[in-house]
């Protein structure tokens, strides 16, 4: 069987971190713009989809505006760019003074904005003054237009999505746990999911240690991000850290964590995060809090933070590897893990990587067995 390369494993959807880097020059621009694109069922027509945009403009006092519009069965990107240009003209603002942020997956939109002369980054950075307004309006829109479906219909759609998802060939899980006693440590967490059948969780520590685990699951991405936070907390306790910073780029998981820090966990499912996952996190947080100076912080994903970049890359590659035969993808995955760790922490591939031991479970649906390489060299 032919082995695939690291580039092939990453795929065409591999992350482009440069698009999310925020510069001091962008933040200093007098006009900030945030564009949120949406696509959802529209109540006015059966089975009709409507696509559109929310554009928030903040050019200072007297120069603020919000645009909201949508179209059916048309490409909304060029129309959104045209709408922004017309609004800036109305406000007498020059595109040269504008910093625009978009969603991280809006590649085509960013390309059109750049061709129109705008300075663009693919990140809803909190440093952009218009982001909060755009997010607030987007949340209200979702509540107003989301069509409620029965539990039976929801399960039917989930089954169809799982059936259409690529077959899971194996479930790679690796770790390196070389550090024994550490005074201070920074740990970055991330997760990746196909949203249907497979997800991966990962943390990378400043010591060079890491863990990545893939699993058969339809859990939400925030659920998986919280699992990664729990693993990071347990690692900080394991190495006896006196001071630890745990980083995550998941706003949803961090909001859930903050709520539990204040009110505890009642073991119930909330915000798409399972009750058992919440309870495990809360126990791990309490244990870590008792033994160290602990901070849990948000880091902007895909913005160049070395540990976050490594955690994201490893989680993503591990999830991608599951759809290829192990014999074809394992070597590329190990190479990607080593490269990500070396770039982030300076640890070389000479350090061995062993798979964590875990209780084996029978998988439902007969879609392949549990994988997990025993050693990366």
Which one, of 72, 68, 67, lies nearest residue 40 by Cα? 72
Measured at the CA of 224, the angle between CA 222 and CA 225, to 5 degrees, comes to: 60
58 three-class SS? strand
Bigger pLDDT: 154 vs 25 = 25
Which one, of 8, 13, 26, 103, lies nearest residue 312 by Cα? 13
CB 10 within 8 A of CB 16: no
How far is the CA of 128 from the CAs of 112, 114, 119, 133, 280, in angstroms? Answer: 20, 18, 12, 10, 35
Measured at the CA of 30, the angle between CA 29 and CA 32, to 5 degrees, comes to: 80
Per-residue pLDDT of 123-170, as tens digits, reads 778 889 999 898 888 877 766 665 555 667 666 766 666 666 677 889
Question: Lowest mean pLDDT: which of 155-159, 206-210, 365-369?
Answer: 365-369
Which one, of 229, 223, 208, lies nearest residue 343 by Cα? 208
Give yes or no for residue 43 having a pLDDT over 60. no
22 three-class SS? coil
Q: Which domains does the chain have, with CATH numbers?
A: 19-145 (3.30.420), 166-376 (3.30.420.10)
- Specify the DSSP element, H or E, that contains 47: none
- Specify the DSSP element, H or E, that contains 100: strand 98-102
Say what the pLDDT of residue 157 is: 63
The verdict on pTM exceeding 0.85 is: no
Which one, of 186, 154, 34, lies nearest residue 101 by Cα? 34
Per-residue pLDDT of 277-286, as tens digits, reads 999 999 999 9
* Count of other CB atoms within 10 angstroms of residue 294: 17
Per-residue pLDDT of 307-359, as tens digits, reads 999 999 999 999 989 988 999 999 999 999 999 999 998 876 554 555 544 44
Instruction: Retrieve residue 362's tokens.
Output: 């029978």
In terms of DSSP bridges, do strands 98-102 and 31-41 run parallel, antiparallel, or are they unpaired? parallel
Exposure b/e, 200-214, CB count within 10 A at least 16 = b: bbbbbbbbbbbbbbb
Question: Phi, psi at residue 73, to the nearest 5°?
Answer: 55, 35
């Amino acid at each position: 069987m032919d082995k695939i390369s690291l580039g092939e494993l990453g795929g065409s959807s591999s992350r482009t971190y440069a698009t999310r880097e925020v510069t001091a020059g962008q933040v200093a621009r007098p006009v900030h713009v945030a564009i949120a694109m949406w696509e959802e069922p529209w109540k006015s027509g059966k089975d009709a989809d409507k696509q559109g945009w929310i554009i928030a403009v903040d050019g200072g006092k007297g120069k603020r505006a919000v645009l909201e519009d949508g179209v059916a069965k048309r490409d909304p990107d060029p129309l959104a760019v045209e709408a922004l240009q017309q609004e800036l003209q109305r406000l007498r603002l020059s595109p040269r003074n504008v910093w625009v942020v978009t969603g991280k997956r809006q590649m085509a939109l960013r390309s059109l904005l750049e061709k129109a002369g705008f300075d663009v980054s693919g990140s809803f950075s909190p440093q952009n003054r218009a982001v909060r307004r755009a997010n607030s309006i987007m949340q209200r829109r979702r509540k107003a237009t989301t069509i409620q479906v029965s539990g039976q219909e929801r399960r039917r759609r989930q089954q169809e999505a799982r059936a259409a998802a690529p077959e899971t060939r194996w479930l790679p899980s690796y770790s390196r746990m070389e550090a024994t006693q550490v005074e201070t440590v920074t740990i970055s967490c991330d997760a990746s999911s196909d949203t249907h059948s497979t997800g991966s969780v990962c943390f990378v520590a400043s010591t060079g240690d890491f863990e990545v685990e893939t699993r058969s699951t339809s859990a939400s991405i925030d659920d998986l991000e919280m699992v990664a936070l729990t693993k990071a907390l347990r690692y900080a306790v394991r190495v006896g850290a006196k001071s630890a910073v745990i980083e995550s780029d998941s706003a949803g998981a961090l909001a859930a964590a903050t709520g539990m820090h204040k009110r505890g966990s009642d073991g119930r499912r909330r915000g798409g995060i399972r009750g058992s996952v919440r309870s495990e996190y809360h126990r791990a947080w309490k244990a870590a809090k008792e033994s160290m100076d602990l901070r849990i912080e948000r880091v902007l994903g895909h913005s160049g933070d070395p540990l976050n970049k490594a955690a994201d890359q490893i989680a993503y590659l591990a999830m991608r590897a599951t759809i290829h035969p192990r014999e074809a993808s394992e070597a590329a995955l190990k190479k990607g893990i080593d490269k990500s760790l070396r770039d982030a922490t300076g640890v070389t591939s000479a350090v061995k990587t062993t798979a964590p031991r875990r209780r084996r479970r029978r998988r439902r649906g007969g879609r392949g067995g549990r994988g997990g390489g025993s050693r990366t060299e």
